[in-house]
C-alpha cells in the first residue's frame, strides 16, 4: 500500500493536502487489499460494494472540494454516508467469516476516525457559511 503517493508528484491539488482526504485514500487501499481474501463468488457482490463504498469517501471529498461551501458540505455528507455503508459491509464480512473480529475492529476504528474528521470539517464549513 502506497500512502500519500500524490504528494511525490510535482502536480498537487489542494484537496490532496486535507488529512481527511489522505486518510480516506488509505482506507480505500486497506479495503481493497482486504477484499482480495473474500470468496470469488463475492466478486460482484460484497467485495465490489465494499470497495466502491470505501473509494467513494475520498472521491466525494475531492469532488466537493472545488465547489461552493454548500456543495462541499453536501459532498462531505455523501462521504459520511459511504463511511456508514462501509460499517455495514465490514459487519457483513465479519458475519460471513471473511474478516476476523480484529480486522472488523480495525475497519471500525478507521471509519470512526474518518467520520469524526469529516464531521469536524463539515462543522467548520457550516460555521463559515453562517458568518457570511
Q: Which three cell numbers stand for residue 123?
A: 462543522
Which residues, in sequence order, are CB contacts of 14 under 8 Å at separation 6+? 65, 66
Residue ranges and CATH numbers for the domains of the chain are: 16-131 (1.20.1440.60)
What stretch of H or E contains 26?
Answer: helix 19-35
Closest CA to 15 of 57, 43, 44: 57
Record the pTM: 0.91
pLDDT digits (tens, 9 = 90+) for 11-60: 999 999 999 999 999 999 999 999 999 999 999 999 999 999 999 999 99
pLDDT digits (tens, 9 = 90+) for 79-93: 999 999 999 999 999
With a cut of 50, say whether residue 2 has pLDDT above it.
no
DSSP tag of 42: G
With a cut of 90, say whether residue 1 has pLDDT above it.
no
Q: With contact defined as beta carbons under 8 Å apart, do 57 and 51 qualify?
A: no
Amino acid at each position: 500500500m502506497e500512502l500519500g503517493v500524490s504528494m511525490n508528484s510535482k502536480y498537487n491539488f489542494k484537496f490532496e493536502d486535507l488529512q481527511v482526504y489522505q486518510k480516506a485514500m488509505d482506507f480505500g487501499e486497506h479495503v481493497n487489499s482486504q477484499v482480495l481474501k473474500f470468496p470469488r463468488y463475492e466478486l460482484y457482490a460484497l467485495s465490489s460494494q465494499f470497495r466502491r463504498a470505501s473509494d467513494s469517501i475520498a472521491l466525494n471529498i475531492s469532488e466537493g472540494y472545488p465547489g461552493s461551501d454548500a456543495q462541499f458540505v453536501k459532498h462531505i455528507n455523501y462521504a459520511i454516508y459511504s463511511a456508514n455503508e462501509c460499517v455495514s459491509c465490514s459487519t457483513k464480512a465479519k458475519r460471513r467469516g471473511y474478516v476476523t473480529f480484529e480486522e472488523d475492529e480495525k475497519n471500525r476504528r478507521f471509519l470512526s476516525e474518518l467520520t469524526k474528521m469529516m464531521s469536524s470539517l463539515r462543522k467548520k464549513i457550516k460555521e463559515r457559511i453562517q458568518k457570511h
